[in-house]
Amino acid sequence: MVKEEHVKDKCARCGKGKLVTDNESGEMFCSNCGFVMSEKLQESGPEWRSFTQDEHGDRARAGAPTSLTMHDMGLATIINPVNRDASGKPLTASMKSTIERLRTWDSRSQVHEPVDRNFRQAFSELNRLKDKLAISDAVMEKSAYIYRKALDKGLVRGRSISALIASALYAACRDTATPRNLKDIEIAANIKRKDIARCYRLLVKELDLKMPVTDSVQCVARIASKIGIEEKAKRYAMQVLKNAQEQEVSAGKDPMGLAAAALYLACVKTGEDKTQRDIAEAANVTEVTIRNRYKGLKEILDL
């Protein structure tokens, strides 16, 4: 397809015709004598590559972004499997065997170090937990960062990789105010709670992590969405928890248990038909916890 929109100059050979561009080949030629110029334009068709976005939101040709959740941070190199040289010619038999050996050594060298194997196993487990717990990418990056710091300090030696990456994920959830408790991670990782808690305490102590206190108000929406509690009861429960925080009633209490009790109290006040068992199963707490926190909220807040 030839368009005369890309008119540049007159033909240098005949001096009469105009130079037009063939959009398919990118060649410029004279419309009068057909003389082809050696210049070629950049292809205007779509490109097969994927692009990242720069700080202004435009497409940037910088390749895929690096990530701490990859064992090599996304900076690995791969020798092209096509047996052709830079000019597109097939390789000779001797060069082909040499390239095959190089490919083999390249693939082996990427996981040769024990640290790389450790990262591969840990981040594979982290990706599995991400799918089960519906964790955001920001929490994943924070988890990988904490685990890398632990590995640098030698905290992984002699300990379970699965337990340590699960505790790093729990620490990242606490740090980013993501409502996931130890019970959730215990079920998803299939690891005993005491093992995850032991590794978590080790990370907090050795890495000097400053963990914020989990806000019970943020746990309300998660429990309510699981069992379909109406917005009216949800807002009432949030107000109850805010009043409890102002009177310092919630100090030292499990945030998920406190949120479950506030939701049950809200369901009772608004007439919504939800039992203690329904809320307890959604919050991963016991019915006894809900009853104890429910009594405490009623007595202290005079509800």
Q: Which residue has the higher pLDDT, 3 or 136?
A: 136
Claim to verify: residue 169 and residue 199 sit in the same structural domain = yes
Q: Residue 71 domain-assigned?
A: no
Number of domains in the chain: 3
Could you tell me if residue 210 is left (phi over 0), alpha (psi between -120 and 50 degrees) or otherwise beta? Answer: beta
In the predicted structure, residue 54 carries a pLDDT above the cut 60: no
- Is residue 269 assigned to a domain? yes
Query: pTM score, two decimals?
Result: 0.59
Which of 150, 182, 206 is the endpoint of a domain?
Answer: 206
Which residue range(s) make up the domain with 198?
Answer: 115-206
Q: Are residues 222 and 294 in the same domain?
A: yes
**Exposed / middle / buried, residue 298 (Cβ in 10 Å: 0-12, 13-18, 19+):** middle
> What pLDDT, in 10s, does the model give residues 199-231?
999 999 998 888 877 778 878 888 888 888 888
Q: In the sheet that 19-22 helps form, which strands lie side by side, from edge to edge?
A: 2-3, 19-22, 27-30, 36-40
- Shared domain for 192 and 242, answered yes or no, is no
What mean pLDDT value characterizes the chain?
A: 80
Among candidate residues 213, 214, 303, the one with its CA nearest the CA of residue 266: 303
Look at residue 77 and tell me if it is in a domain.
no
Domain stops at, among 179, 206, 233: 206
Question: Both tokens of residue 274?
Answer: 């939800």
Whether 119 and 173 share a structural domain: yes
Q: Which of 17-21, 54-58, 101-105 has the lowest mean pLDDT?
A: 54-58
R_g (Cα) of the chain, nearest Å: 31
Per-residue pLDDT reduced to its tens digit, 166-207:
999 999 998 888 878 888 899 999 999 899 999 999 999 998
238 and 185 in one domain? no
| CB 191 within 8 Å of CB 216 | no
**What percent of the chain is predicted at pLDDT more than 90?**
12
Here the CATH number for the domain that contains residue 172 is 1.10.472.10
Q: What is the pLDDT of residues 97-141, one digit of tens each?
A: 898 888 888 777 665 567 778 888 888 899 999 888 888 889 999
Whether residue 225 sits in one domain with residue 184: no
Structural tokens at position 148: 């890398």
